[in-house]
Chains A and B, each alone.
Chain A
Amino acid sequence: MDFSPAALRAHFKALTAKREKIDVHLDPLRAELDALVAGDTKLTVKKAKEREAVIREEIKNLQAKLFPIENERAAVARALGGKTGEPE
């Protein structure tokens, strides 16, 4: 295993890309949940509650996939002393 700063930075970047792929699915669900909770929907109350339950399960499932990625990102960030990227 290569634990050089350059390799760790590359690994951090790869993990961030993995997170972003999950966020692509998660962000719209969170936006829809916000709208439902705010009552900003054309659905009936019953249908809105049914949809909310489905969304919440999907969010939980996606968060379960994110968890190991986020923990590893944190570990790599610590290993790099917080210097995960080259200054622009």
Chain B
Amino acid sequence: MAAYTKLNGFVENLAEKVFNLGSDTLTVALSNTAPGSEGTPPTGATSTCKLANVTQISYTNLSSRVLTVTSSAQSSGTYSLVTSDLVLTASGAVGPFRYVYVYDDTATNDELIGYYDYGSSISLASGETFTIDFGTELFTLA
């Protein structure tokens, strides 16, 4: 499973009522450009932490990128956002991509939450799938 990297702007956006993670449309975006190499890196100031600053691949031939949120709740003061794994299915050539971002498609500016770096570029051919494993939870807040 690829490592999850929180984007710093997410924390401020969370505190300033940008998200409702339990029922907003959380979606993945695929990119082959390193976050730090973007024209305006989304890793910088909070105002940069949005989808417009990510160079996305073409999604032609790719199935739905929307996540299914299972639980958005706290236990003993620790909040967890749990989603099911996402199966992306290709009906033609897709990619290459290396970075998988999670963003909030309901939020006004499609603000980003975090990303996964898969270490090397991935391409899909027709009939192939790429399964994103979000582990026990997407993230926790304590």
Contact = CB atoms under 8 A, between A and B. Distances in A.
Interface of A is mostly: helix
Contacts of A74: 84-87, 131, 133
Contacts of A82: 128-131
Contact of A88 (B20, B105, B127): B127
B85 A71 contact: yes
Contacts, number: 81
Q: Which of B89, B91, B107, B125 has the most CB of A within 10 A?
A: B89
A30 B25 contact: yes
Contacts of B23: 33, 55-57, 59-60, 63
Report the interface size class on chain A.
Answer: 20 to 34
Contacts of B87: 70, 73-74, 77, 84
A23 B129 CA distance: 19
A56 B22 contact: yes
A48 B22 CA distance: 18
B13 interface: no
Contact of A84 (B20, B70, B128): B128
